[in-house]
Copies of this chain bind each other. A is one copy, B any other.
């Protein structure tokens, strides 16, 4: 920064930072590798010592950004938990973190969400989905959610908070500030959680959540997985 050095030393991260800033400023596609390099103060070709292509950089950024979201959710949930606190509050806090994050940097959120199955090699930890699963498990443990409603509930909850986040990020819905977003998130998630608890006559082939990615990671940590056959199972790829 201060002295002009031939070797940057942290170019990989610096490029990711620059690219993230460019996404914030000019949207998911409104910038070039050359601009990111220029912003870091490096020649365009330098990037190729760290990324195979522009796409590779974008994918790496997307994964990094998604992992950050997972961290924010996880710590928000942890902070909300405590004795005497409403059992649903952890999930609500995670959801608020999710929605606020999308509201703060809509274009970055679009990048993280909007590119399909791209995080091929990268392990994202903690994945937002993982945080939701952890919170649901906690709700079942504390008795705030029926165990029968648990399978597949992760995708139901995820869909709810994801929808609010993306409607706001994409400008299809607008709110007056983050407090309003929190209120909306809370109302939505409490409605879903309450609705799941009230569920009667679960469908015969209840969807079961599992994914290659999740399994690969959780099998290493514990092996409490109940391997019921899944017929119409939602899956989180990679």
From A40-48, A70-78, A79-87, A192-200, give the one contacting chain B: A192-200
Please give me the residue from chain B that is nearest to A191 by CB atom: B195
On whether the beta carbons of B183 and A236 are closer than 8 Å, the reply is no
Contact between B160 and A192 (Cβ–Cβ < 8 Å)?
Answer: yes
Docked pose: A193 CA to B195 CA in angstroms: 7
Copies in the complex: 2
Give the distance to chain B from A238, nearest Cβ to Cβ, in Å: 9
Contact of A232 among B183, B191, B195 (CB under 8 A): B183
Residues in B neighbouring A198, C-beta threshold 8 A: 191, 194-195, 198
From residue A113, how far is it (CB to closest CB) to chain B in Å?
5
Report A103-135 CB contacts with B as 1/0, cut-off 8 Å: 000100010011111000000000000000000
Please measure, in the bound complex, the distance between the C-alpha atom of A207 and the C-alpha atom of B174, giving whole angstroms. Answer: 12
A-B contact pairs, 29 of them (CB 8 A): A106-B116, A113-B170, A113-B172, A114-B170, A115-B170, A116-B170, A152-B184, A155-B167, A155-B184, A159-B164, A159-B188, A166-B166, A171-B237, A173-B235, A174-B234, A174-B236, A175-B207, A175-B232, A176-B232, A177-B232, A179-B232, A184-B207, A184-B232, A184-B234, A191-B195, A194-B194, A194-B198, A195-B196, A195-B198
